[in-house]
């Protein structure tokens, strides 16, 4: 092979493969809106909470964090960061929260000590309670929220801290087309209507965990990943849906509206895409995860909204901050994270601030330079062998 052709080939490979990777990695577009993360800790290799809080504050555009408990160390870690913190009360504590004395003590022990330092803005009572088989929890959910609110009122914190609870899409009896969204019978009138009344009265949002990843098939993968498609026509409204997330959100909106509520905000408490999975799973890789989460951020912060909820942004919490190696279940459950334990991105979705992105990019630049030198060395060896 001609030496000039070989050199050209080597540099073209470097230019077309390695450099785009670097550019993609340091991509950091400005994002306006409320982008948060779910900070889970089911792992044995995570950095200390204080280090995580500083990293999120100084190196990312993330301005909201959802915690899965009220761990005082984690709450102290976020003191002074200005990051909005959502605290979650585990499902098993819900029955006790219906007791006012317990709720008052819980607030005094877990919330009051951090007021003025840590920016706590929301308390979630349980997680996906209405999708459990525990009827006691289901029946206690709204009373627990009401009692906890009364405890916040006593501390004059009810305007500063709002109460809600996240739901899975399993609360829907029907979701397609979106305009036919309806809550499950029995739950709609006896649980969700009182819950919506509480949210309306306290100016709190309805919180939902939509996961297009769990709902898509090979045929609907492009639709789930925000790729160009012909879309889905809702014949009842003549509205066209260009992505699965919009359809899921509007199905929830329709179900809420069906119960007579039109002024309650919808917040995305969890959504994400795993970067690794089990054998046989399609589109479970870093490329697909990056594509979903990057386009998710662009979409929910764009102000476009959805067909039934136009011209708005959506407060959104990506699941999750870290890969969690101790989580049970399929491989994908342990690989929803945006960052490795050393705080390097699993993949880039544009949430690093420029300084942090540049620091991370230097590592890839070193790899790129090394690879280029290696390519040149190979060319030189081939050239010398020709003599």
Supply φ then ψ for residue 351, to 5 degrees.
Answer: -105, 0
List residues with catalytic annotation.
128, 270
Beta bridge partners of 318: 37, 271
Of the chain, the end-to-end C-alpha distance in Å amounts to: 13
- 């900070």: which residue's tokens? 39
The CA-atom distances, in angstroms, between 379 and each of 262, 312, 372, 373, 374 are 67, 55, 11, 10, 9
Would you list the DSSP string of 181-223? -EEPTTHIIIIIHHHHHHHHHTT--EEEE--HHHH--STTHHH
User: 107 CB contacts (<8 Å, ≥6 apart)?
Assistant: 148, 151, 152, 154, 155, 157
Residue 161 contacts residue 120 (beta carbons within 8 Å): yes
- The residue written with tokens 């997680």 in the block is 127
C-alpha separations of 351 from 31, 58, 257, 271, 347 in Å: 8, 11, 34, 16, 10
**Eight-state DSSP code of residue 48:** P
Distances (CA, A) of 38 to 208, 313, 323: 13, 19, 11
């Amino acid at each position: 092979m001609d030496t000039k052709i070989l050199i050209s080939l080597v540099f073209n490979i470097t230019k077309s493969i390695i450099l785009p990777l670097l550019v993609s990695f340091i991509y950091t577009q400005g994002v306006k809106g409320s982008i948060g993360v779910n900070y889970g800790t089911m792992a044995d290799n995570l950095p200390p909470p204080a280090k995580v809080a500083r990293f999120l504050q100084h190196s990312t555009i993330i301005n909201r964090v959802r915690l899965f408990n009220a761990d005082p160390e984690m709450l102290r870690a976020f003191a002074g960061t200005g990051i909005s913190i959502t605290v979650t009360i585990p499902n098993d504590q819900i029955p006790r929260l219906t007791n006012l004395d317990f709720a008052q003590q819980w607030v005094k022990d877990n919330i009051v000590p951090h007021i003025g330092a840590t920016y706590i803005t929301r308390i979630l009572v349980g997680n996906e309670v209405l999708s459990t088989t525990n009827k006691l929890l289901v029946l206690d959910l709204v009373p627990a929220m009401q009692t906890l609110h009364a405890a916040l009122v006593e501390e004059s914190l009810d305007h500063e801290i709002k109460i809600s609870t996240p739901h899975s899409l399993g609360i829907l009896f029907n979701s397609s087309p979106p305009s036919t969204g309806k809550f499950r019978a029995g739950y709609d009138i006896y649980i969700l209507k009182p819950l919506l009344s509480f949210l309306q009265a306290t100016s709190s949002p309805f919180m939902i965990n939509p996961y297009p990843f769990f709902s898509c098939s090979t045929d609907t993968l492009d639709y789930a990943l925000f790729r160009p498609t012909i879309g889905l026509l809702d014949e009842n409204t003549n509205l066209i849906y260009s992505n699965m997330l919009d359809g899921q959100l509007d199905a929830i909106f329709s179900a809420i509206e069906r119960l007579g509520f039109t002024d309650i905000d919808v917040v995305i408490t969890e959504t994400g895409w795993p970067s690794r999975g089990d054998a046989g799973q399609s589109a479970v890789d870093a490329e697909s995860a990056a594509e979903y989460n990057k386009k998710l951020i662009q979409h929910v912060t764009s102000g476009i909204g959805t067909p039934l909820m136009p011209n708005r942004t959506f407060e959104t919490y990506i699941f999750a901050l870290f890969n969690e190696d101790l989580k049970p279940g399929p491989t994908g459950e342990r690989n929803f994270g945006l960052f490795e334990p050393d705080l390097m991105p699993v993949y880039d979705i544009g949430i690093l601030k420029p300084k942090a992105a540049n620091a991370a990019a230097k590592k890839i630049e070193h790899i790129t330079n090394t690879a280029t030198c290696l390519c040149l060395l190979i060319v030189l060896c081939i050239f010398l062998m020709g003599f």
